[in-house]
Structure 1
C-alpha cells in the first residue's frame, strides 16, 4: 500500500483515508472515545427499537417516527465508524472507489433523512396538541407510512447527484483523502476538473433541506405554543409543553453540531486540518449518541419499559 501522492493514474480503483491528518500517532487514543460513542449509540438505538417492538402500547405514530430516527442513527454511525476504527486500530486505510461512493451516499442520504424525520415528529406534536381529538384519525398507519416514504424518497433523490457527480470527474492528482471517511467535498477536491457544480449543489442541498425543515418545524412550534398559552392553568401548560421536550432536545442535538460543523468547514480556513476533520467526525456521532439518551430520559413510556426490562419484570 502506498501512502505517497500519485500523479500517473486516472480514476483510481482505491482511495487512501488518512484518518485524522497530523494526529496519526494518537489514533489509538482517539479511537477510545469514538469506540465508546459508537457502542452507546448502537446499544441505545437498538434498545429503543426492541422496547417499541415488544410493547404494543407504544405502537403509535410518535414511536414509529422514533424508530425511524433510531434506524437512521444506526445507519449513519455504522456507515462511518467501523471503517474509521479500522484506520485507527489496524492502519487499514484503503477503500475502493465504489465503496467510497457508497459510503458518501449513505452518509449524506441518512443525514438528510434524519432532518426530515424531525419535521415529521414536529407534525406529530402539532396534531397531538393543536388537534388532539383528531389525532388518531389524522395520523393513521397509512399516513405515517406515506410520510415515512416521502422522507426516504426526498433524501434518496436529493443525495443521488453526489456520487454521480463524483464518479463523473477524472482523478489524476492523488488518491489520498485527508479525512476519516468519504465525504462529498473531501473526495471531489481530488478531481482534476472544475468542481464548482459540486460546491454549488452542496450549498443548495444544505440550505434547501435545512432551510425548509427548520421553517416547517418553526411554524409547527409557533402553532403549538399558541395552543399551549391558551390552556387555562399553568400546570396544564407545563405538562403539555413537557411532551415536546424530547423532540426539542433531539432538534438541538442535530442542528447545533451540524451548523457548527458546516460553518467550520466553510469558513474555518485558518483552522488546523486535524481539528476540522475531528469536529466533522465527531458530529456524525453526536445525534446517534444523544437521541436515545434524550428519549429514554424524557419519555416516560420508554423509561418505564426500560426499568421493567432491567429489573427482569414482564412488560
Structure 2
C-alpha cells in the first residue's frame, strides 16, 4: 500500500495515515500468532476482572495491599486493551491503517499505563516493606489516606509526565514513508519515519526512562533488599522460605517488566533495524505482565483465594 498524503501544503503533516505492517519478516503467517496472543489477552482481562469483582463484593478485603492489587488490575486491563484490539484487527481483518491522531493517542496511552504500572509496583513494594520490616507500625503508616494520595500521585505523575512524548512526535514532519514495521505505535518507531530531526524525541524517551521508571526501579530494589535482609533474620525457617518464595516471584516479574523496557529503548536509540524479536518483546511487554500479575500477586494470596470462594458461593446461592 502506498503512502497517503494531504493535498494541502499548509499542514505540518503530509502523511495522513500510518500503516502497521505487523511482525517484520513473517507477514505471510503472522496471523497464527493471534491464537496465543488472544489466550493471553483473555487471561489478562478475565483474571483481572475476577480480582476486581472479588474486591468489590468482599468487604473483608478492603485492606491496603488488596486496594493496590485492584489498582494494578485496572492498569493491567487498560495497558493490554490499548494495543491488543488493534493487533487482532491487523491479523484477522488486515486493518493495518491507523490515523495520525489514533497513533499518537496510542503512544500516549502506552506510556501512561506503563508508567502507572511501574508506580504501582513501587507502591506495592513499599507496602510489603512496611508490613514485613515494621509490622507493628503498619496500620499507622499505610492508611487509606496514604493509598488515595499515592494512587492520585501516580495517575497525575504519569498522565502529565508523558504528555511531551506524543506532542513531540506530532510535531515531526512525516513527508515520505508511512509503513511501520510493528504491531503498535511506539514513540521512537513512529518518529523514525520523520523527515526532520528527531533527537528531541530520543532525549525525551531517555529522560522518561531514567527519571521516571529508573527511579521507581531503584526504590523497588531497595525495598526488596531490606525485605530480604529482614526475612533472613527470622528464626522460623518455614516463614523465611515462604517470604523468599513470594519475593522471588515478585522480583522475576518486575525485572522482566523493566528489562524489556531497557531492551526496547536501546534498540530504538541505537537505530537498529526492526526485526521480529524486538517487536515481539515489545508486544509481550504489554500483555505478559497483565496476564501474569494476577497469578503472582493475587492468586498466591490465601486471603484472596478465600475471597474468590466466598464470592463464588454467594453468587451460586443467589441463583
TM-score by length of 2: 0.89
**Contact 1:125–1:244 (CA under 8 A) maintained in structure 2:** no
Tell me which residue corresponds to 2:169: 166
Deviation at 1:177, TM superposition (A): 1.8
Superposed displacement of residue 243, structure 1? 5.5
Measure how far apart 1:276 and its partner are: 2.5
Helix, strand or coil at the partner of 1:15 = strand
Query: Distance in 1 between the 2:293 and 2:316 partners?
Result: 25
Contact 1:73 1:287 in 2 (8 A): yes
> CA 1:132–1:165 in 2, change beyond 3 Å: closer, same or farther?
same
SS at 2:98's partner residue? strand
RMSD after superposition: 2.4
- Does structure 2 retain, via aligned residues, the 8 Å contact 1:6–1:174? no
Q: 1:17 to 1:5 in 2, by over 3 A?
A: same
1:4 paired residue number: 2
Equivalent position of 2:185 in the other structure: 182
Describe the superposition over 1:50-109 as per-residue Cα deviations: whole angstroms up to 9, x where unpaired: 111111111111111111111111111100000110010001111111111111100011
Aligned pairs for 1:83-94 within 5 A: 83-94=86-97
1:292 pairs, out of 274, 294, 299, with 294
Structure 2 residue runs without a partner (length 5+): 8-12
Give the conservation status (yes or no) of the 8 Å contact 2:5–2:15. Answer: no
For 1:257 and 1:303, how far apart are their aligned partners in 2?
Answer: 30
Aligned equivalents of 1:234 and 1:314: distance in 2? Answer: 41
The number of aligned residues is: 312
Q: State which of 68, 71, 74 in structure 2 corresponds to 1:68.
A: 71
Q: Once superposed, which parts of structure 1, at least 4 consecutive aligned residues long, lie more than 6 Å away?
A: 311-315
Unaligned ranges ≥5, structure 1: none
Q: TM-score, normalised by structure 1?
A: 0.90
1:192 is matched with 195
Look up the match of 2:209: 206
Give the deviation of 1:290 after TM superposition. 0.9
More moved, 96-105 vs 254-263: 254-263
Question: How far off its partner does 1:111 sit?
Answer: 0.5
Deviation at 1:184, TM superposition (A): 0.4
After TM superposition, list the pairs within 5 Å mapping 1:20-169 onto structure 2: 20-169=23-172
**Alignment CA distance shift 1:237-1:66 (3 Å):** same
Deviation per CA, 1:166-219: give whole Å up to 9, x if none. 111221112222211111011111112110111111112112223211211122
1:306 deviates by 2.8
Q: 1:97 to 1:268 in 2, by over 3 A?
A: closer
SS at match of 2:15: coil
